[in-house]
């Protein structure tokens, strides 16, 4: 098996699975319980929170454990909107956000909020100027994706953060799900107030994640019924999930330091090879995230190519995993390229630090054979 769908989910590190198993078997207490087993569990989640915060250079009380990216984005966006609606009801995002952001804003429109969906340029990035032009007296939130989950485009988060420093009533949320461990983003010094991260995108387990919530910010919870996570997220804590996530983050950040050049080389190999295949169009940008390659084969249904590669033991995807079963063309590609053929024929190849040159060469060889065969069938 050759797995090139790491933007959808990653294979958990062996050490992470072992850590999870050990904790779930040996530490059975509820952190809210007063007996020794409860205090033991509480210490573990405190240590996990401190480990994550230390790796990111933030305070431990600024880390809220969640179930992943979708919950984190919804908690940040809806929690901010409802908490600060007396300040204003205007929100800003872009037209190319992940569905868990885009649909959260659509929901808020039905709750009486006004949303500005900013356009992006031909690379899929939003400009700082567009953000500035959209700001109003009643704006309370700007939410941007850091690394686009389909194209790998990197947004100018730090520049937007500097802009918003002059607008203290406007909070800044960043969806960092695709960027964590691949494209560095200092939480402190970037003007970020809220930041979403999902564990299974960096070799942690599904159902784990965290939301960075800057000290001094308060948001309305989505869940009620307990005082966990500083009253922002009720429910018994996932101790094993939090501990294993902290380990996955540490291992991934170590890989980012040591293996970034390797993954860039693999990306360059694949991009250059795809460009040489007749009928293909590379969509991802050279200055984008190092782990995402996106290309289109106009005239060919992407699911056909995905299945053809799967028959060869190679796994890639089309658009966001949350939307891949929908038949509509990619909203991200439509808004970026304004080209229906590119939008409905996109393929995403996404790498991890564990992928090898041999795997990349196998993919290249297979694409060189399969794409012309499929296009010939289509054109008969």
pLDDT score, position 56? 97
Q: What is the pLDDT of residues 280-313, one digit of tens each?
A: 999 998 899 999 999 999 999 999 999 999 999 9
**Residues spanned by CATH 3.90.1150.10 within the chain?**
2-8+259-375
State the angle between helix axes of 14-26 and 239-275 in degrees (0 to 180), rounded to the nearest 10.
Answer: 160
Q: Which helix (H) or strand (E) holds 54?
A: helix 36-56
> Encoding tokens for residue 89?
């009801």
SS3 state of residue 90: strand
Q: How many CB atoms lie within 10 A of CB 11?
A: 14
Residue 194 has pLDDT above 90, yes or no: yes
Q: Per the structure block, which two tokens stand in for 312? A: 């060869």
Tell me the CA distances in angstroms from 287 to 183, 277, 292, one per residue in order.
11, 22, 11
Phi, psi of 108 (to 5 degrees): -65, -30
Q: What is the rounded CA–CA span in Å between residue 138 and residue 242? A: 37
CATH 3.40.120.10 fits 2-8+259-375, yes or no: no
pLDDT level of residue 325 (50, 70, 90 thresholds): low
Question: What's the CA gap between 249 and 266, in Å, rounded?
Answer: 22
Antiparallel, parallel or unpaired: β 281-282 and 209-213: unpaired
The fold of the 14-250 domain, in CATH, is: 3.40.640
Residues facing 347 on adjacent strands: 295
**1-42: pLDDT as tens digits:** 999 999 999 999 999 999 999 999 999 988 888 898 888 889
Please report the pLDDT score of residue 338 as a whole number: 81
Q: What is the distance between the alpha carbons of residues 202 and 12, in angstroms, rounded to a whole number?
A: 8
Q: How many CA atoms lie within 13 A of 332 on its CB side?
A: 30
Structure tokens at 274: 């795809």
Could you tell me the pTM of the whole model? 0.95
Share of the chain above pLDDT 70, in %: 97
What gap in Å lies between CA 72 and CA 163, rounded to an integer? Answer: 24
How far apart CA 51 and CA 49 sit, in angstroms, is 5
pLDDT at 380: 53
What mean pLDDT, rounded, does the chain reach? 94
Q: Average pLDDT for residues 96-115, to the nearest whole number?
A: 98
Task: Please name every residue paired with 2 in a beta bridge, in sequence order, or none if there are none.
Answer: 314
Cβ atoms 158, 172 nearer than 8 A: no
Active-site residue numbers?
Answer: 322
CB contact at 8 A, 38 and 276: no
Q: Say how many CA atoms lie within 13 Å of 25 toward its Cβ.
A: 6
Percent of the chain with pLDDT over 90: 84
Q: What per-residue confidence (pLDDT) applies to 324?
A: 47
Domain with CATH 3.40.640.10 in the chain: 14-250
pLDDT score, position 234: 83
- Single out the residue of 66, 22, 40, 29 nearest to residue 240, CA to CA: 22
One DSSP character per residue, 91-138 reads EEEETT--HHHHHHHHHHHTTT-EEEEE---TTSPPPHHHHHHH--TT
């Amino acid at each position: 098996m050759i797995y090139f769908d790491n933007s959808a989910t990653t294979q958990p590190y062996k050490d992470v699975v072992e850590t999870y198993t050990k904790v779930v078997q040996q530490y059975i207490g509820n952190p809210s319980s007063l007996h020794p087993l409860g205090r033991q569990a509480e210490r573990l989640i405190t240590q996990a929170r401190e480990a994550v915060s230390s790796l990111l250079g933030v305070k431990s009380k600024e880390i809220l454990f969640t179930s992943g990216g979708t919950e984190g984005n919804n908690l940040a966006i809806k929690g901010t909107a409802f908490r600060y609606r007396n300040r204003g009801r205007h929100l800003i995002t872009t037209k190319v956000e992940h569905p868990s952001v885009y649909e959260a804003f659509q929901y808020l429109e039905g709750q009486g909020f006004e949303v500005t969906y900013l356009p992006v340029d031909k690379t899929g990035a939003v400009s700082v100027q567009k953000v500035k032009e959209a700001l109003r007296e009643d704006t309370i939130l700007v939410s941007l994706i850091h690394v686009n989950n389909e194209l790998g485009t990197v947004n100018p988060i730090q520049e937007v953060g500097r802009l918003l420093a002059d607008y203290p009533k406007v909070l800044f949320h960043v969806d960092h799900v695709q960027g964590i461990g691949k494209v560095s983003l200092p939480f402190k010094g970037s003007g970020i107030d809220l930041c979403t991260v999902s564990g299974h995108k960096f070799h942690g387990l599904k159902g784990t994640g965290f939301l960075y919530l800057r000290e001094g910010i308060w948001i309305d919870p989505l869940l009620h019924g307990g005082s966990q996570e500083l009253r922002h997220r009720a429910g018994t804590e996932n101790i094993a999930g939090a501990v294993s996530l902290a380990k996955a983050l540490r291992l991934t950040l170590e890989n980012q330091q040591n293996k970034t050049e390797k993954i860039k080389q693999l990306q360059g190999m694949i991009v250059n090879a795809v460009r040489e295949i007749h009928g293909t169009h590379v969509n991802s940008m050279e200055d984008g995230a190092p782990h995402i390659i996106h290309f289109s084969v106009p005239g060919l249904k992407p699911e056909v190519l995905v299945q053809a590669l799967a028959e060869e033991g190679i796994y890639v995807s089309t658009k966001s995993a949350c939307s891949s079963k929908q038949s509509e063309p990619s909203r991200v590609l439509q808004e970026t390229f304004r080209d229906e053929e590119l939008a409905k024929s996109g393929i995403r190849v996404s790498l991890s630090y564990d992928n090898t040159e041999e795997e990349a060469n196998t993919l290249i060889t297979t694409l060189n054979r399969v794409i012309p065969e499929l296009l010939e069938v289509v054109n008969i």
